[in-house]
Chains A and B, each alone.
Chain A
Amino acid sequence: MTDLTTQERVSQRVPLWRDVVVLKWVTQVFLLIVVLGAMWFLANQAGDNLRARNINTQFDFLERPVDIQLSEGIDTLPNTGGRALWAAMVNTLRLSIAGIFFATLLGVVVGLARLSDNWLVRRLGSIWVETLRNIPLLVQMIFYFSVLTTLPRVGLGTGPINGWLHISNKGISMPRIFIADGFYQWLVVVLLGLIPAWLVRRYRQKIQDQSGKNTSPILWAIGTIGAFALLGLFVHPAFSWLGAVFGGIADLVDSLPNAVPQIGFAALAVGCAAVWIQRFLSDHRSARGHLSLTDDDWFRIAFAAIASLAVVFVVVSWSGLSAWTLNSSRDLFEVLSDKFNVDGAARPFDAMRPDIIQKGKFPNYGKSGLTMSLGFASVFFAVVFYTSAFIGENVRGGILAVPKGQAEAAKAVGLGRGQILRHVVLPQAFRVILPPTGNQYLNLTKNTSLAIAVGMSDIVQVGTTVFNQTGMTLPVVAIWMLFYLSCSLTISVIVNWFNVRMKLVER
Chain B
Amino acid sequence: MTGLDSSNVSSTTAGGQPPAATPVSKIAPPVTPKLSIWEWVKENLFSSPFNCGLTVVTTVILLAIFRGLLAFIFNPVRQWNGVATNLRLMMTRAYPEEQYVRIWVCVAVILILTSLSMAIWHAGSALSVSEVGRKLLTTGTILVLFALLAPFSTAATMLWLLVALVVLGFAEFLRRSSRGLEGQTISTLTLLVLTLSGLVASLWVIPYGHHSYIPKRDPRVLAEPGTVALSTKLPWTLMLVIAVVAYFTGRALRDRLPANATRITLIVLWLLAPPALLYLVLRDPAFDMNHVATTDLPIFAAYAIGGTALLSWLTRPSTGELGRIVSAIILLAGFCSFLTPMRMIVRIDMLALAIFALAAPTFSGGPRAQKRYVASWIGLLGVMSWLITAINTPSTVSVPGGFFIGGMSITLMVAVFTLVISFPLGIALALARTSSMPIFRLLATWFIEFVRGIPLITILIFFSIMVPLFLPRGMHLGEVAAVIIGYVLFSSAYLAENVRGGLQSITRGQQEAADAVGMTSAQKTLFIVLPQALRVSIPPLVGHCIGVFKETSLLAIIGVFDILYIGRIVIPGQTEFMGSTKENVLFVSLIYWIFAYQMSKASQRLEQRTGLGER
Contact = CB atoms under 8 A, between A and B. Distances in A.
A42 B470 contact: yes
Nearest to A468: B465
B466 A473 contact: yes
Contacts, number: 164
A489 B453 CA distance: 8
A177 interface: no
Greatest chain A CB density within 10 A among B452, B466, B550, B553 is at B553
Interface string B29-40: 000000000000
A450 B4 contact: no
A481 interface: yes
A29 interface: yes
A351 interface: no
A474 B469 CA distance: 11
Contacts of A450: 455, 457, 554, 557
B422 to A, nearest CB: 18
B176 to A, nearest CB: 24
A116 interface: yes
Given A120-B45, A449-B458, A135 B470 contact: no
Interface string B44-60: 11010001001100110
A122 interface: yes
Contacts of A136: 550-551, 553, 564, 589, 592
B450 interface: yes
B3 A17 contact: no
Given A32-B443, A120-B62, A139 B45 contact: no
B597 interface: yes
B453 A484 contact: yes
Question: Mostly helix, strand, loop or mixed at chain A's interface?
Answer: helix
Given A119-B11, A453-B557, A143 B582 contact: yes
A134 interface: yes
B332 to A, nearest CB: 9
Interface string B1-25: 0011001000100010000000000
Contacts of A473: 462, 465-466
Interface in A53-68: none
A79 interface: no
B341 to A, nearest CB: 15
B142 to A, nearest CB: 12
Nearest to A147: B582
Contacts of B450: 481, 485
B586 interface: yes
Interface in B281-311: none
Interface string A160-186: 000000000000000000000000000
A377 interface: no
Contacts of A134: 546, 550, 592-593, 596-597, 600
Contacts of B3: 126-127, 130-131
A466 B223 CA distance: 45
A18 interface: yes
A485 B556 CA distance: 25
Interface string B583-612: 001101100110011001000000000000
Interface residues of A, number: 61
B11 A122 contact: yes
B469 A50 contact: yes
A259 interface: no
Given A46-B470, A453-B557, A121 B58 contact: yes
B455 A447 contact: yes
B438 A303 contact: yes
A453 B597 contact: no
Contacts of A126: 3, 7
A27 B585 CA distance: 51
Contacts of B7: 126, 130
A126 B9 CA distance: 13
A147 B600 CA distance: 28
B344 to A, nearest CB: 16
7 contacts: A18-B321, A121-B58, A453-B557, A477-B461, A480-B458, A481-B458, A485-B454
Q: Which are the 9 A-B pairs with shortest beta-carbon distances?
A: A134-B596, A119-B44, A446-B455, A28-B439, A449-B455, A136-B550, A136-B553, A488-B453, A146-B581
Given A121-B58, A123-B11, A127-B4, 14 more contacts: A28-B437, A31-B439, A46-B469, A119-B45, A122-B11, A127-B3, A133-B600, A135-B592, A138-B553, A138-B564, A142-B564, A146-B581, A146-B582, A446-B456
Interface of B: 3-4, 7, 11, 15, 44-45, 47, 51, 54-55, 58-59, 61-62, 321, 325, 335, 437-440, 443, 450, 452-458, 461-462, 465-466, 468-473, 546, 550-551, 553-554, 556-557, 564, 568, 581-582, 585-586, 588-589, 592-593, 596-597, 600
